[in-house]
Amino acid sequence: MPETLHQFMLVTKGYEYLIAVAFLALFVMLWGYLHRPEVQSLAVRAFRLQDIRLPSGLYFHAGHTWLYHPSPSRIRIGLDDFLSLGTGRVGVHVRPKRGQSIEYGEPLLHLNVNGQTLRVPAPVSGTVTAFSRRRLSGGDEAPLKHNWLIEMKPSRWDQEEPGLMSAGDSRTWLIAEFERLRAFLANQLERPALAGATLADGGEPVTGFLLALDDQGWKSFQHEFLGQVK
C-alpha cells in the first residue's frame, strides 16, 4: 500500500497506463478484424471449367464479355462467368454515357473492387442506349443473358460480328484461357505475400481470386486477359 499521496498517485498513474495500453491493444485488434482484407472472408471454393456457362444464342468476345443480339438495332452486353467469378462482388461503372458513341476496343466498363480497377473493352462499336446499375456477384445463378450491364445500338455489326465467337466456337478458346489462368495464378503464387490465396488445394482457381492480388497482379491480369484498352 502506498504510504504517501505521491506514492498513491504514482501507483494510480501506473494502473491508468496499463489500462490505456490494454484498451489500445484491444482497439487495434478490433480495428484489424473489422477492416481485414476482403480476401480473408472469401469462401475458399474452386470453380471449374464446367462452371463457366456458354449458353447458345449468345456471342462471346475475347475481352470476356458476352453479347445478346435480339434485333438489328439492339444489343446487350455483360461479363462472362470467367471474369465475374474472378472478381466476385464488384462495383460496375459504365464508361460512356447514354447516347454516347463508343468504338470497338475503347473502355466500356470499369470494374471497381477494393480500390482496384479493371477496364473492360467494348466488344463492338455503337451508341449506348441503356445500362444497368446492378452490383454483380460471382456465381449468380440467373440466366446469363439476364445479367446484362449495358445496351447499345450497334453501328458496324456486319463488319465486327465475324470477330465474335458463338457459344460452340468459344469452348475451345475458353479451355485455353482456363489453362492460361492456372499458369498466371501459379506465377502469382511465387510471390510469398500471395501464396495460398488464389488457388485451392486441387490447383483450381478460387472464386474471387482477383481480390487476393496486389496492384502488380491486377495490372498483369488486365494485360493478359482483357488487353490494353484504347
Could you write out the three-class secondary structure of 84-108?
HHHHCCEEEEECCCCCCEECCCCEE
Per-residue pLDDT of 110-162, as tens digits, reads 888 778 889 999 999 999 999 876 555 555 567 888 889 999 999 999 999 99
Assess if residue 44 is contained within a domain.
Answer: no
Per-residue pLDDT of 45-78, as tens digits, reads 566 777 788 889 999 999 999 999 989 899 999 9
Residues 214 and 121 in one domain: yes
The CATH number of the domain where 95 resides is what? Answer: 2.40.50.100
Residue 154 grid cell? 450497334
pLDDT band, residue 28 (cuts 50/70/90): very low
pLDDT band, residue 217 (cuts 50/70/90): confident
Residues 121 and 194 in one domain: yes
Residue 87 makes CB contacts below 8 A (sequence gap 6+) with 111, 113, 118, 136, 138, 208, 210, 211
Assess if residue 42 is contained within a domain.
Answer: no
Mean of pLDDT over the chain: 77
How many structural domains is the chain composed of?
2
Scanning 35-136, the segments in alpha helix (DSSP H) are 81-87
Asked if residues 174 and 82 have their Cβ atoms less than 8 Å apart, the reply is yes
Residues 15 and 65 in one domain: no
Assess if residue 105 is contained within a domain.
Answer: yes
Lowest mean pLDDT segment, chosen from 66-75, 86-95, 173-182, 190-199: 190-199
Q: Which domain holds residue 58?
A: 49-226
pLDDT at residue 25 is higher than 70? no
